[in-house]
Structure 1
Amino acid sequence: MSPAMHDFPFAIVGFDLDGTLVDSVGDIAAALNHALAVAGRDPLDVEAVRPMIGLGTAHLLEQGLTATGGIPDDSGHLYRELIAYYETHVAERTRLFPGAVEALDRLAALGVKTAVVTNKLERLARDLLDALGIAGRMAAIVGGDTLGPGKAKPSPAPVRAMIAACGGGRTAFVGDSIHDVMAARGAGATSVAVDFGQLHHPVGDLGADHVIGDYAELVPLLARL
């Protein structure tokens, strides 16, 4: 049975985007491979790209170039190529993880504000969430560039900004990486790790307060805390 609205212990539940709310590795890999093709490099398969995701587009490109022969002296045009390609293919292969919409529905019914904090550029995050039909559900969308240089996860600053934008209150943050756990911890939020994301490390090694294997587990877990 769902807890009564006034009994639910969290006012805000924030989510990482790539690897947490959405499986986006196909579109990200395609954009990276486009930039690599411009550089005359061979493409990388999806599983090679997966662990490169999570610290923003510049890091993704650096990792892709390093894996295919090294970073050239001038890679600025490759960054622009990657962004331009991704902007026009932002949701061709990307899908919400099973149960994500239902979890958002349950949280909304409980009066909980939901939000996204991602290291993806804010405009790309908004474009993706809009294409998937859930941008309007988010009380805040904080991207890797929203607060300026050095203010992306694992800094707690974007999670703090999310909390402030949502009006404050007890907060949980759901993610799939050590960067999400560190950002949540630094912002005083309860961290929840999903075991189906990009997972640069085994989920048990992330140090999260809690782990879920399916979105059906999220609201019952938070209700007990």
Structure 2
Amino acid sequence: MTPAPAPLVVFDLDGTLLDTHTDLVESLNHTIAALGLEPVTYDDLTHLVGQGARVMIERACRLRGHPLSADTLPPLVERFVAHYAGNMPGHTQPYPGLIAAMDLLKSGGYRLAVCTNKMESLARGLLEKLGLTGYFDAITGGDTFEYRKPDARHLTSTIERAGGDVSRTVMVGDSINDIAVAKNAGVPSIAVPFGYSDVPVNTLGPDHIITHFDELTTELVERLLGEYAEKVAV
């Protein structure tokens, strides 16, 4: 009898694995300062993040009444990337309990991966600066493929790179893109309420919510995989 594939837990990055808000705000404000725009705040951030740097800059400029033309965006993206990459890891830290939870999952034979709409180079660079890349069997960003969350292919391609199986995968995230990509790919989702969602995560329809990473256990993952398999079979 062929053994079941090792379970795979796929994480979003910003607002899920890592508290990046201070550095995102600083780099974003550095970027829009070139246009003479008023700085954004943490309260603005929940409406700006989730689709990568380009969209975040566009949204910030629109928020400040300064819509961008196609030719003015690329130099602003370069300005953001240079500032953000040059200051890594800055104030960014893993959320409480994350390292212990990942150690627990890895010791149980689980695979781990990152699926983020952040540029892959920035995601990898940040995780490397924090000494976390060794935990992950795959790290994919918003520019890794021709598609990104909530497109199901971003998640399914990440699963493939990590050597996982869709039927044995759980997605962990903090926003609508994470919950939606899980639904689109046909995998159960776990939401965290401490990230950057602009609405309460319970309104997004996740399969489960954890308020601290000490709740992310092998028992929880196996239960969710079993419940989801039963639901799909009905």
**TM-score (norm. length: structure 1):** 0.91
Structure 1 residues 75 and 164 mapped into 2: Cα distance closer, same or farther (>3 Å)? closer
Pick one of 130, 136, 139 that aligns with 1:138.
136
Q: How does 1:24-173 map to 2 (within 5 A)?
A: 24-73=20-69, 74-148=72-146, 151-169=147-165, 170-173=168-171
Structure 2's unaligned 5+ residue stretches are 225-234
Cα RMSD (Å): 1.6
The 1:99–1:173 alpha-carbon spacing in structure 2 relative to 1, beyond 3 Å, is same
Look up the SS of the partner of 1:51 in the other structure. Answer: coil
- Normalising by structure 2, we get a TM-score of 0.88
Whole-Å separation in 2 of the counterparts to 1:50 and 1:86:
18
The equivalent residue for 1:221 is 220
CA displacement at 1:161 relative to structure 2:
0.9
Q: Which residue of 2 aligns with 1:179?
A: 177
Q: Is the 8 A contact 2:10 2:113 kept in 1?
A: yes
| 126-135 or 46-55: bigger deviation | 46-55
* Seq. identity, %: 39
- In the TM superposition, structure 1's runs of 4+ consecutive aligned residues that sit over 6 Å from their partners are none
Partner of 2:229: none
How many residue pairs match? The answer is 217
1:29/1:44 contact within 8 Å kept: yes
Q: Secondary structure at the match of 1:14?
A: strand
- Partner deviation per Cα, 1:52-100 (whole Å, 9 max, x = no partner): 1111111100111011121233232112111111111131011100001
Instruction: Give, in whole Å, the separation in 2 of the partners of 1:174 and 1:125.
Output: 16
Gaps of 5+ in 1: 1-5
